Amino acid sequence: MIILKTNNELKLMREANRIAAIILSEIEGKIKPGVSTYELDKWAEDRILSLNAKPGFKGYHSGSRIYPATLCTSINHEVVHGIPTKERLLREGDIIGVDVGVIYKGYYGDGAYTYAVGKVSPEVEDLMKTCKGALDVGIKQAKKGNRVTDISIAIDKYVRPRGYEIVRDLTGHGIGRDLHEEPQILNYNDGKKGQKLKVNMTLAIEPMITNGTYKVRTLNDNWTVVTDDGSLSAHYEHTVAITGNGPEILTRL
173-202 burial, b at 16+ Cβ within 10 Å, e below that, comes to bbbbeebbbebebbbbbeeeebeebeebbb
Distance CA 57, CA 67 (A): 6
**Least distance CB 80 / Co ion (angstroms):** 9
- Site for ligand MF3 contains 113 (CB under 6 A): no
Q: Which is nearer to Co ion, 82 or 124 (CB)?
A: 82
Whether 144 and 203 have beta carbons less than 8 Å apart is answered as no
Residue ranges in 99-128 that form contacts with Co ion under rule CB under 5 A: 110
CA angle 56, 60, 65 (to 5 degrees): 155
Q: Which is nearer to Co ion, 120 or 240 (CB)?
A: 240
Number of residues that bind ligand MF3 (CB under 6 A): 14
Q: Which is nearer to Co ion, 107 or 120 (CB)?
A: 107
- Site for ligand MF3 contains 81 (CB under 6 A): yes
**Least distance CB 58 / ligand MF3 (angstroms):** 8
Q: Which is nearer to ligand MF3, 63 or 122 (CB)?
A: 63
Q: Which is nearer to ligand MF3, 110 or 156 (CB)?
A: 110
Residue ranges in 159-188 that form contacts with ligand MF3 under rule CB under 6 A: 173, 179
Q: Which is nearer to ligand MF3, 30 or 180 (CB)?
A: 180
- Site for ligand MF3 contains 60 (CB under 6 A): yes
Cis peptide bond prior to 161, omega within 30° of 0:
no
Residue ranges in 192-231 that form contacts with ligand MF3 under rule CB under 6 A: 204
Residue closest to ligand MF3, measured at CB: 67
Figure out which of the listed residues 99, 156, 165, 181 binds ligand MF3, where binding follows CB under 6 A: 99
Distance CA 234, CA 78 (A): 9
Residue ranges in 136-155 that form contacts with ligand MF3 under rule CB under 6 A: none
- Site for Co ion contains 13 (CB under 5 A): no
Figure out which of the listed residues 38, 67, 214, 236 binds ligand MF3, where binding follows CB under 6 A: 67
Figure out which of the listed residues 11, 26, 28, 62 binds ligand MF3, where binding follows CB under 6 A: 62
Binding site for ligand MF3 (CB under 6 A): 57, 60, 62, 67, 72, 81, 99, 101, 110, 112, 173, 179, 204, 237
Binding site for Co ion (CB under 5 A): 110, 204
